[in-house]
A and B are shown apart, each in its own frame.
Chain A
Amino acid sequence: MSTADTLLKKYQIAAPPENVLRLGKLVQGAFDTNAHEIASIVKADPSIAARVIKIATRGRDIDMDIDSAVVRIGVHQITLVVMTELLMHAVSKTFATMLRLTLEPRDILNPYGDQVVGCIHFKGKATGRVFLRIPCKAADWMVPRFLGKDLPMEPAELLPDVVGEVLNIVGGNFKSNLVDAGLTCSLSVPQVETKTGFATGVQDGEYHLSIPFAAEGMGLFLDLIISPIAD
């Protein structure tokens, strides 16, 4: 048993998701991993496989096997897909534990009016940012679920702090996964603002994946933007 495993057991902390191992295999081979090995990593997780096919076919109804999809989109994009799965796991776990809510991933959702937008940056061997977008109208159910019914002020006033803390937890989990996969990085303090529109500010060369979720009949968005990881 490794030191990390011993400590996880000692402090009764759940082991990291299996996708941490997959991400580690992708990046620790300094992207020398061959297409066959990458395809086997992709095939091991149906959710990753589905997303890889969707990206490779650009969402069109075309028959494509995993091996062809891997060759078409390349290892960097696949690395982003695996990271996105880790992020989705972190956000689902956080909503389930802190808000007793099951998030339902959706293919497409329209933004829902004014929203609270939280952003957290990570910097190091992996560099990028994560956005969490929650409609302002979610305050009435989200804040009491997070803090209980006895609130010191109106839910709408507390929503930015709740979004900031949810993002802090999601970001911390995600950053721990990256570190365990060999991508040492540091995390910023979340920044939160209320706005009507949203622009990711994606720069040339950055990868961006947006993941819509539904909860309590409303759309929530998670965006991952990441710079290419050095080979």
Chain B
Amino acid sequence: MSKKILTIDDSKMVRMIVTSTFLPYDCLIVGAADGAEGVEVALKEKPDIIFLDITMPVLNGIDTLAKIRATPEIAAIPVVMLTAESDGQRLGMADQLKVSGYIAKPFKGEQLIALTKKIIPLAPKPPEPKKP
């Protein structure tokens, strides 16, 4: 069954990299450009996993994570931090909010895949049906 992945990052570049990384897998990637939009999209789409940046306008990643955990409909969704900020303070805050993983930027696509596979099952994308 196709998995839905939400990437919340103000960088269009990172959203593009996440999308291309999961191209070989049976996944649907949805995106949001800030934390507030990310919570809205999460409520609407109910993704299987969320990749979350920290430094973003409107609502930063830590506040977004707190909001996700405080919203019953989406509180149990696994969240992986995908951020350039990996100092002790940030790690401690994310850990208290029960993140499922933490990937420090710069990152490689293989890291995303490997960590995702530890959290949710990923199947290869089925072949495109042949056109008659």
Contacts and interface: CB of A to CB of B under 8 A. Distances in A.
- The answer to whether A binds B is yes
B42 to A, nearest CB: 22
A169 interface: yes
Interface residues of A, number: 38
Contacts of A169: 84, 105-106
Given A11-B101, A147-B20, A176-B90, A97 B107 contact: yes
A162 B106 CA distance: 13
B91 A172 contact: no
A176 B86 CA distance: 6
A173 B88 contact: no
Contact of B104 (A13, A162, A168): A13
B55 A168 contact: yes
A146 to B, nearest CB: 7
B11 A165 contact: yes
Interface in B63-115: 83-92, 95, 101-102, 104-108
A7 B14 CA distance: 25
Contacts of B101: 11
A98 B14 CA distance: 11
Nearest to A97: B106
A21 interface: no
B85 A172 contact: yes
Contact of B91 (A4, A147, A158, A170): A4
A150 to B, nearest CB: 8
Interface residues of B, number: 29
Contact of A172 (B10, B13, B16, B84): B84
A165 B16 CA distance: 12
**What secondary structure prevails in chain A residues at the interface with B?**
helix
Nearest to B56: A189
B105 A147 contact: no
B95 A147 contact: no
Nearest to B21: A148
Interface in A133-191: 146-148, 150, 152, 158, 161-162, 164-165, 168-173, 175-177, 179-180, 184, 187, 189
Contacts of B106: 93-94, 96-98, 169, 173
B85 to A, nearest CB: 5
26 contacts: A3-B92, A4-B92, A7-B88, A13-B86, A16-B87, A94-B105, A98-B107, A148-B20, A158-B13, A162-B13, A165-B14, A168-B55, A168-B84, A169-B105, A172-B54, A172-B85, A173-B84, A173-B105, A173-B106, A175-B85, A176-B86, A176-B87, A179-B88, A179-B89, A180-B88, A189-B57
